Chains A and B, each alone.
Chain A
Amino acid sequence: MTARTVPAAASTWVAGRLRGPRRSYPVVAVGPHAVYVDVHGDCVGVVARDAVALPIGLRTTLDRLPDIKGPVNVGQGRVWFDEYAVAVTRIVDPGVPRLGPLPAWSTPVPVDLPASALRALAAAEASAALELLGRGDGLTPSGDDVLAGWLVARHTTGRPSGEVGAAVATHAADRTTSLSATLLGRAIVGEAIPQCRDLLTALHAGAGVDGALAALLAVGHTSGAALAAGISLGLEDAA
């Protein structure tokens, strides 16, 4: 049977995960709007048009994904399931730009995480990473989201992620889900959802911050809020 090709937009990194021979990989999450697979510890996923545009996604224009019945294969430059072959036909850049120093910014976003850990993160201490990694529920625990926001904020302001980044790189794979660990790895190199980029560029431009923040807070149940909290902590001493 000839596979039906579904075009997708994805980052260079994601496209790189699809090389190699075609074989089946474990599905870590599946639903009508997204399916994620674990490719040797790196998660990539196929997402529908209106799904959250995670930097690890192959973004299609499908309103929703078909019900996936069989295994999900990856290789030969595509993600394969049932009669579909999802191919990256457009390379997009999920990286936040290097904006340089940004004005300090904080926003009162309530997150259900230990205050001590958040203080440690603001101070860029490795203990923050150890305490926050994997803390919270779901595929992307809110402790990870806070870390991701912080990492992206450091990246965009041109400051190294230091011992926090090192601790995340070392321990994420063991302490959280493979999906969240992959996202943290992307955050270290400055890749994030577009709502994070929009907030940071709004802060840089000094305009449209409220709208961008509202858009970020609307992401997921708690993910957007946790990312905003992380960005806020990452910018506390940015200037």
Chain B
Amino acid sequence: MNHVDVRRGAYADSVTLMQVSRSVATSHGVDGAMVAMATPLNLDLLAGMGFEPPDASPNDMVVAIRLGPDGELDEALSAVDAALAVARRTRAAGAVEAAPHRTTATALRDSDATLALVSVPGPYAFVEAMDALAASRDVMVFSDNMPLEQEIRLKSEAAERDLLVMGPDCGTAVVGGLGLGFANATRPGPVGVVAASGTGCQQLLCLLDSGGVGITAAFGVGGRDLSEPVGGVSTRQAMRRLDADPATELIVVVSKPPAATVATELVSYAGELSTPAEFVLLGAGEPDLTAGAERVLAALDRPTPAWPRWGERAASTRVGYLRGLYCGGTLCDEAMLIAGQAGETGQAGQAGQTGQAGQTGRQLGPVRSNIPLSPELALDGSLTAPAHLMIDFGDDALTAGRAHPMIDPTLRLERLAAEAADPDTAVLLLDVVLGHGAHPDPAADLAPEVAATTTRGVPVVIALVGTAADPQDLEGQATALADAGAEVFASNAEATRRAVALVGTGGLR
């Protein structure tokens, strides 16, 4: 059955009426419906649907309904009225919240941000970082696994624009007092830091803080910046920034073992600057980070303090292997350099300049590692060997698909328990890194495992990298670890030497 009626003078806009039509057409017992203003076009459409077009003007509303066998006209008409009422009802104006931006480019366009912080997965980081440079912003690339050619391209773009790229794989930076990535709460002061090493930078900042010295800024540049292909582009840019800063009295460059040519170029570049510079470049025969911090203090005419330590000294040595379980790659490197055969990989010619800290103490010989000092010391996938071991749990291969061990301690805790149960383990050496971005209470998880280990008679030595102002409460963490039986040191170098000293000399099985 077809029904057509005309509502004189009734009006709704065409969009509303199309919605009403759709709603009515889908209601019970209705085979077809059209609710529309009676324009010639709509009357044609009505005729096309098989309705008799009514006599109506474009200012009238026409309601046409084709009922099915079980359709009720009253029901259908009330569906029309209901749909019209719904359409006319003022819609609740939803809160108009702007959706977040989807790219670094579009976010920077609407922001006065001074810096972009990129931590997307490595294959995507280049695109986001280039956005920042195009928007004339410095960028910190926390992401690792950026292809080398992209890093080179990124840094050359930054150099052309007089901008700074921190990273890729930059774990630590401090700008305007703001800690980015894994960074310790530092105080303002005269030192400007350039670091091609995250935890190396953190160790230095914490030791300086403990010595009463603060910083103007700490620019991470990424672990590869001082390699031959990258050529120290970001290091140079960061040094120039610091040189231009009137508050920076001393520039300190910290790096994992650099390419010799790049190091030479940078030392020569430092000579062109008006601000003095100290280089703390890890390597065989080079001063360790603690010695570097001491040199910085000396350059500022500050006394070297006794670096803080906590806990009772372990009663006796134990025969076996040193087992180092690290979160910080540079701290792990430093520990291997101190514990292992420092002279083997060359640079013997520089040995005469070696700082005192690097020379004291006994050395254990080769240390096997997943980040070995030389290729023949590499561990296989099992990460085990009857030898002195140092494992960097922050290495890319061990962080794929999980958070960094500074945040998620699971893997390292499991390994700690395994090492504690290994009769060949002489001593365990660990780092605990505090600061922004790190686990809020690392001692809570670690102390029970430490207690279990020391109870078995295996000594535990911990390098605790943190400042008094860090959110985790340095003293509280140190006390908890010391109470669990660990010997805790603010200096990783001191911790390593202590661990080496705890390895008994009775010969290994």
Contact = CB atoms under 8 A, between A and B. Distances in A.
B247 A93 contact: yes
A204 B177 contact: no
A201 interface: yes
B187 A12 contact: yes
B121 to A, nearest CB: 28
B492 to A, nearest CB: 24
A72 interface: no
Interface in A65-111: 89-93, 95, 97-99
A233 interface: no
A93 B246 contact: no
Interface in A90-147: 90-93, 95, 97-99
Contact of B188 (A89, A95, A98, A201): A95
Nearest to B176: A92
B246 A90 contact: no
A9 B188 contact: no
B247 A92 contact: no
A204 B188 contact: no
A9 B178 CA distance: 9
Nearest to A92: B177
B186 interface: yes
A91 B186 contact: yes
Nearest to B245: A97
Interface in B122-145: none
Contacts of B458: none
B246 A89 contact: no
Interface string B178-202: 1100000111100000000000000
A98 B246 contact: yes
A89 B471 contact: yes
B260 interface: no
Which among B178, B246, B469 has the highest number of chain A CB atoms within 10 Å? B246
Which among A12, A93, A98 has the highest number of chain B CB atoms within 10 Å? A93
B246 A91 contact: no
A12 B469 CA distance: 11
A17 to B, nearest CB: 16
Given A9-B177, A99-B246, A204-B246, A93 B185 contact: no
A167 B428 CA distance: 61
Nearest to B187: A91
Contacts of A204: 246
Contacts of B471: 89
A116 B46 CA distance: 93
Interface in B160-182: 176-179
A90 B185 contact: yes
Contact of A93 (B177, B178, B179): B177
A90 B436 CA distance: 10
Nearest to B215: A93
A93 B187 CA distance: 8
Contacts of A98: 246-247
A196 to B, nearest CB: 14
Task: Give the interface size bracket for B toward A.
Answer: 10 to 19
B240 to A, nearest CB: 14
A217 B51 CA distance: 76
B177 A91 contact: yes
Contacts of B469: 91
B247 A91 contact: no
Interface string B200-233: 0000000000000000100000000000000000
Contact of A90 (B178, B216, B245, B247): B178
Contacts of B177: 9, 90-93
A90 B185 CA distance: 7
Contacts of B179: 90
Contacts of A11: 188
Nearest to A12: B187
Nearest to B246: A97
Contacts of B176: 92
A97 to B, nearest CB: 4
Contacts of A97: 245-247
A19 B276 CA distance: 37
Nearest to B469: A91
Contacts of A89: 185, 471
A28 B9 CA distance: 67
Interface in A195-213: 201, 204
Nearest to B436: A89
A99 B247 CA distance: 8
Contacts of B178: 90
Nearest to B471: A89
A201 B187 contact: no
A204 B176 CA distance: 20
Nearest to B174: A90
Contacts of A9: 177
B245 to A, nearest CB: 8
B451 to A, nearest CB: 30
Contacts of A201: 246
Contacts of B188: 11-12, 91-93, 95
Contacts of B185: 89-91
A80 to B, nearest CB: 19
Interface in B280-319: none
Contacts of B245: 97
A90 B187 CA distance: 9
A93 B246 CA distance: 13
Nearest to A90: B177
Which 3 A-B pairs have CB atoms at the shortest separation, nearest pair first? A93-B188, A97-B246, A97-B247
Given A91-B186, A91-B187, 4 more contacts: A11-B188, A93-B177, A93-B216, A93-B247
28 contacts: A9-B177, A11-B188, A12-B187, A12-B188, A89-B471, A90-B177, A90-B179, A90-B185, A91-B177, A91-B185, A91-B186, A91-B187, A91-B188, A91-B469, A92-B176, A92-B177, A92-B188, A93-B177, A93-B188, A93-B216, A93-B247, A95-B188, A97-B245, A97-B246, A97-B247, A98-B246, A99-B246, A201-B246
